[in-house]
Amino acid sequence: MNGAQIDFQQLRIKHILYKSKVRSVLYGGVYDENFFTASGPVGTWFTTVGMPRYGLQAEMRELAIINQDLNATAINLFHLYKSGRIDQAHDGLKNVETKSDRFINILSQLERKLKDSPLSIYSS
């Protein structure tokens, strides 16, 4: 396993954690405000690993954009939930899932691209 693989595995795991966290808030879990800001785990990954190391890749920039979109969707669902529109908030999880599918697809694309490329831009 090389450094890039570990970096992407980290993002994948942090992304799954992110989704779990969104769902947990919508099922009565604690709302950890910081988690859903740029200083949350996924945000931190983008600023410390993703952009500095892979910022030149179009896919990485797209991932960052989807992530922001996902976060906006999540925060909107939290508002619905808090205002008592619980069913609507749960229903909105579908949108999170669609965006997440796209996120994972692009991440896999980028992984394949960097694995196949002999000129991996990553060197640790």
Partner 1 sequence: MDFQLLFAHIPETIVVLAPEAGYKILAATNTYLRTTMRQREDIVGLQFLLEAYPDSAVPYAENPVKISLDKALATKKTDYLDVLRYDIVKPTADGGGLEERYWEASHTPVLDASGNVLYIIQNTHDVTERELAKQAQQKSEQKFRFMAESMPQIIYTVNTQGEFTYFNQHIVHYTGLPLQAFTGTGWQNIIHPDDLPTLTARFAEVQQTGADLQIELRIRDKAGNYRWHLLRSRQMKDENGNSIMRVGSATDIHDTRLLVQELLATNEQMADLSDQVQFAYQQAETERKTLERLIMESPAFFCIIKGPEHRYELINQNYQKLFPNRVLVNKTVAEALPEVVDQGFIDILDNVYKTGKTFMAEETLIKLDRYDNHQLEDVYLTFTYQPLYKEDEQIIGIIVFGYEVTEQVLLKKKLEELGNA
Footprint on this chain of partner 1 (rule: CB under 8 A): 1, 3, 6, 9-10, 13-14, 16-17, 20-21, 23-24, 27-29, 41, 84-87, 124
Cα Rg, the chain, nearest whole Å = 16
Rounded least distance, CB 20 to partner 1, Å? 4
- Provide, rounded to whole angstroms, the least separation between the CB of residue 41 and partner 1: 7
Q: How far is the CB of 43 from partner 1 (least distance, A)?
A: 14
Helix (H) or strand (E) holding 99: helix 86-116
Which residue's CB is nearer to partner 1, number 10 or number 57?
10
Nearer to partner 1, 17 or 51 (CB): 17
CA 101 to chain centre: 10
Supply the angle between the helices 86-116 and 3-26 in degrees, to the nearest 10. Answer: 180
Which is closer to partner 1, CB of 87 or CB of 101? 87
Query: In 27-85, which ranges are continuous DSSP H helix?
Result: 41-45, 51-54, 58-82
**Cβ atoms 104, 8 nearer than 8 A:** no
Pick 5 or 58: Cβ nearer partner 1? 5
Let me know how long the chain is: 124
